């Protein structure tokens, strides 16, 4: 097993436990860590006592760092949850406007913002290129009368 199996961050640990493939990767990562620990013990025996002492001090520092990072991740999760609750009413208002539910019903007027999400996604640099060909195909089918939506 190579070192590439170890690619889990503390923030991804919870998600990994809920996903079968991620659990498998997590088990592989832990097995890799065990192998590294065994190899490290063999490697450390080759060094002088003063070097081994320095490595032990570094391990202690890393342990302190890991504890601090865990505390940070807990606090970060609490802040994210707090702001998610604050975002919810704004997201609901935005949804109502986009879908035309915040307006009075007028038969002559278009409600909401037509093609809002399609336009937003098409202009997104990550997914826009994938959406454009599908959207163009859909328009062509509509033009030719072969599209039932």
Rg (CA), the chain: 27
pLDDT at 46 over 70: yes
Percent of the chain beyond pLDDT 70? 72
pLDDT at 148 over 60: no
Q: pLDDT: is 147 or 136 the higher one?
A: 136
Please state the domain extents for the chain. Answer: 115-149
CA of 109: how far to CAs of 69, 100, 101, in Å? Answer: 54, 10, 13
- Residue 55, classed as helix, strand or coil, is helix
Both tokens of residue 1? 């097993």
pLDDT at 27 over 60: yes
pLDDT at 61 over 90: yes
The whole-number pLDDT of residue 45 equals 83
Phi, psi of 11 (to 5 degrees): -70, -25
pLDDT digits (tens, 9 = 90+) for 94-128: 999 998 887 766 667 888 898 898 889 889 998 88
Averaged pLDDT for residues 63-69: 96
The whole model's pTM is what? Answer: 0.48
């Amino acid at each position: 097993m190579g070192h590439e199996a170890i690619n889990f961050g503390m923030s991804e640990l919870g998600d990994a436990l809920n996903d079968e493939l991620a659990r498998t990767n997590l088990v592989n990562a832990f097995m890799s860590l065990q192998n590294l620990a065994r190899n490290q013990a063999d490697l450390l025996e080759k060094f002088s006592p003063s070097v081994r002492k320095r490595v032990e001090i570094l391990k202690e520092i890393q342990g302190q760092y890991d504890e601090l990072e865990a505390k940070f991740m807990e606090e970060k999760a609490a802040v994210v949850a707090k702001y998610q609750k604050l975002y919810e009413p704004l997201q609901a208002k935005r949804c109502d406007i986009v879908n035309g539910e915040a307006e009075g019903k007028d038969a002559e007027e278009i409600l909401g913002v037509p093609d809002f999400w399609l336009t937003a996604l098409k202009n997104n640099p990550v997914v826009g290129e994938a959406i454009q060909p599908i959207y163009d195909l859909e328009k062509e089918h509509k033009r030719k009368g072969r599209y039932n939506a």
